[in-house]
Chains A and B, each alone.
Chain A
Amino acid sequence: MNLGHSRVILLRCVTLVCGICALVVLMSLQPRTASAEMPAFVRIVHASPNIGTADVFLDGTTLLRNFQFGTITNYATIPPGPHKVQIALIGKGIGASVITQVLTVNPGIAYTVAALGTKSNELSLKVFSDNNQLAPGMAKVRVYHLSPGIGSVNVSNGSNVLISSLGYPEASNYLTLSAGAYTFNITAAQSNAALPPISATLKANTVTSLFAVGLVNGTPKIQFVTAQVQGLPGVPQTGSDPNAVPVNSQPLWPWLFGILFLVVIGAAIVIRHQKANM
């Protein structure tokens, strides 16, 4: 009975070990995707007419000093997950923050965070997910309507309406345009009032962001801030068909030459033997 019991225990142990091994193998075969170790990418645009030059704090530590209205940072890397973001007037300290907001960011993703609002009770941060993958040979453009008080806007180039009824505070879809110099005309959708046009040179394989910030009636006056980044390509195809004809196989002509040479030699020997026997 003891022997039988030992066998059962042994069988269970073997089964457990096999199961663990199978699990380990299965897990090892899974490709790695975005993980908690990979950072998120965040840039910040100061689009709040009511906040002067400011300091920005991330999780209680200074992220950015002397952040002026109408400016946009480069992308910074921060760990994924929730973060407490605070904005205070320059030099006032974190205790005098006018915006305190928790933002959650995901690994490997790029974000644009806009500081918005005209009144103290409207100040907030708005988060946009960015897509900086390039359009091959073309230019990508996105318009961020961050100018309060004018309602929705239309964006056109010449007679072509590119974006219709873009509300505040929203971002358009990405437009794919041929590379070149453009003048974008912005009009208020309701009043049809024209805003100052934006001129931008769009390079191939880049992603351009056009931010409308400021006030049409008031200060700071409306302005357009442009940020252009190199578009991101996809990963390359660096493998080869294992069943294809090998490119490094040696050419046939040396072998053919060798065979021909041997045949000639053989024939010569035969002829010589024939002559010798005649």
Chain B
Amino acid sequence: MRLARLSSFSIAFITTLILCGCGLASASPHPLPHLASPTVHLVISPTPTLSSSPTPARRANPVRLLIPAIGVNAPIEEVGVTSNGNLAVPTQNPWEGVGWYAAGSHPGERGSAVIDGHVDRPGGYPAVFWYLRDLHKGDEVLVTDAHGNTLRFRVTGLAFYSPQDAPVQEIFGNGSGDFLNLITCAGDWIPSQHQTTLRLVVYTSLD
């Protein structure tokens, strides 16, 4: 009898330990991989364009972002700016979704449309733009709008900047083409500033 009682509790205890062990294993943070060398290939047309043509009808809002090379298939939500003047981040689907700066250009319009997304989530787990740094010049970026139309962009360059030195006129205000710029964080986490040391910008241009 004592043996049976002992064996029953042992089974329960061991099973519990196994289950708890599984739970702990799934919660262990993944280490952040070392960032690749910040190779830069910016291709920007030097042709001056002083367009005064009337603004065409606005496109439908973008609703989905696809980047086949890194497996991104993300819903797009509109974002504005934070109280400190920075581009806001997606909140409806913060880790798997991306945010489009609605006060800027629409993707496919003349100007620089901007979409941001998290690189990781609390604890270091990958988020939607975890693999953004693995993109290369020429990779495809697709944006589907609310009417079901899909626009194809091509990566023209990647660049890493410290937040205070990011060329915001270039990122948000370049009106010399039909650009879509993707932004996420990079570098090391600075606990005292609650941010990372760098930002990664992937520049793309309409095909």
Contacts and interface: CB of A to CB of B under 8 A. Distances in A.
A8 interface: no
A39 B176 contact: yes
Nearest to B4: A273
A128 interface: no
A239 to B, nearest CB: 3
Contacts of A38: 42, 44, 167, 170
B118 A232 contact: no
Contacts of B40: 32, 35, 37
Chain A contact residues: helix, strand, loop or mixed: loop
B146 interface: no
B44 A235 contact: no
Most buried by A among B12, B125, B187, B191: B12
A31 B169 CA distance: 18
Contacts of B85: 133-136, 233-234
A63 B50 CA distance: 8
Given A28-B38, A239-B119, A247-B121, A233 B81 contact: yes
A240 B86 contact: no
Which range holds the interface residue count of chain B? 35 or more
Given A77-B45, A270-B5, A237 B122 contact: no
B173 A41 contact: yes
A77 B176 CA distance: 6
Given A236-B116, A238-B185, A246-B29, A270 B175 contact: no
B54 to A, nearest CB: 13
Most buried by B among A29, A38, A79: A38
Interface of B: 1, 4-5, 8-9, 11-12, 15-16, 19-20, 23, 26-27, 29, 32, 37-38, 40, 42, 44-52, 81-89, 95, 99, 101, 103-104, 116-125, 127, 129, 159-163, 165-176, 183-187, 189, 191, 194-199, 201
